[in-house]
Amino acid sequence: MPRTGGAERRTTLVEEAIRQFGREGYGGASLDDIAGAVGVRKQTLLYYFESKDALLEACLQAAGIRLAEVIAEALEGKEGYCDRAEAVIHSVFDLAAEWPEFPMFIREAGRLGPLAFERFADVLDPLRRRAVDFLRSGMDDGEVRKQDPAMLLFTLYTAVVGSLTEASVLNAVVGAD
């Protein structure tokens, strides 16, 4: 394997950890397996991340940043409320199509308990605030029925993430085309 720089290797380790945490779960993924998948030893992984929890923290950070980037890109040049909302939803589905472990990783993070998910929520807080403001402005403009924008965001989040992570259940409920 060609020698990679520190930042590149760190990124590669995080990407592989997200894949394995998404596929195997946090408890099922081992540092040895993550390191081996990228061609390094566990000691090398521990040079970059002092523990499995520190690696998880980096994964939560990276996933949150990537999600925020994808949504920001989707909103570029979009004008109307409905066009912007549709662009965001499509961008999340497109992200899941290109990175299938992403929704599974998000689901796994939610199952790790409140501390892990709070870390992810902290990363996403600026995005959450922007989304709540967007929903509130849609309500003020009459585009969306007035309600609690934070609860509406939660409903939209669970609908989108649930559709991505529970595809077999979704197919059973709505039928496969």
| Banded model confidence at residue 30, pLDDT cuts 50, 70, 90 | very high
Residue 24 Cα to chain centre, angstroms: 16
pLDDT, average across residues 5-29: 93
What would the pLDDT profile of 52-61 be if each residue is shown by its tens digit?
Answer: 999 999 999 9
What pLDDT, on a 0 to 100 scale, did the predictor assign at position 3? 47
What pLDDT, on a 0 to 100 scale, did the predictor assign at position 114? 79
Q: Is the pLDDT of residue 1 over 60?
A: no
d(CA 147, CA 133): 13
d(CA 128, CA 131): 5
Q: Is the pLDDT of residue 51 over 90?
A: yes
What would the pLDDT profile of 88-135 be if each residue is shown by its tens digit?
Answer: 889 988 998 888 888 888 888 878 877 777 887 888 888 888 889 988
Percentage of the chain beyond pLDDT 90 is 38
Q: Which domains does the chain have, with CATH numbers?
A: 6-170 (1.10.357.10)
d(CA 159, CA 141): 24
Other beta carbons less than 10 A from residue 53's beta carbon: 14
What would the pLDDT profile of 140-161 be if each residue is shown by its tens digit?
Answer: 999 889 999 899 888 888 888 7
> What is the maximal distance between C-alpha atoms in the chain?
57
What DSSP string runs through the chain? -----HHHHHHHHHHHHHHHHHHH-TTT--HHHHHHHTT--HHHHHHH-SSHHHHHHHHHHHHHHHHHHHHHHHHTT--SHHHHHHHHHHHHHHHHHH-THHHHHHHHHHHT-HHHHHHHHHHHHHHHHHHHHHHHHHHHTTSS--S-HHHHHHHHHHHHHHHHH-HHHHHHHH---
